[in-house]
Amino acid sequence: SNMNPTVKDIIGIKPGKLRAFICDSPKGCNSARVQVQHVKRMYMPEGVVNYSVHTQWEDNIVVITAIAKQDDMKKNGIKEGGNGNA
């Protein structure tokens, strides 16, 4: 059973995890990409900093990864922030 991911599906992906969806058509894959952009703007869940989307157009598969916050990276970023970023 093919299903295009909904906002609820995307929000349900845990930080650091990915989920593959088989869409009903290339158009469905495209709308999945649009949904991810919508989630990024409106609903970014706790612990998620970004989403990556990989599409296999020939199979109508969309793989959505919820990229987790890295606390260590954040700490390092503050230390090094005085160099190039100021």
Average pLDDT over residues 29-47: 95
In angstroms, rounded to a whole number, what is the distance separating the alpha carbons of residues 63 and 52? Answer: 8
In angstroms, rounded to a whole number, what is the distance separating the alpha carbons of residues 41 and 3? Answer: 23
> Encoding tokens for residue 86?
């100021």
pLDDT tens, position by position, 40-63? 999 999 999 999 999 999 999 999
| pTM of the predicted protein model | 0.78
Are the C-beta atoms of 66 and 17 separated by less than 8 Å? yes
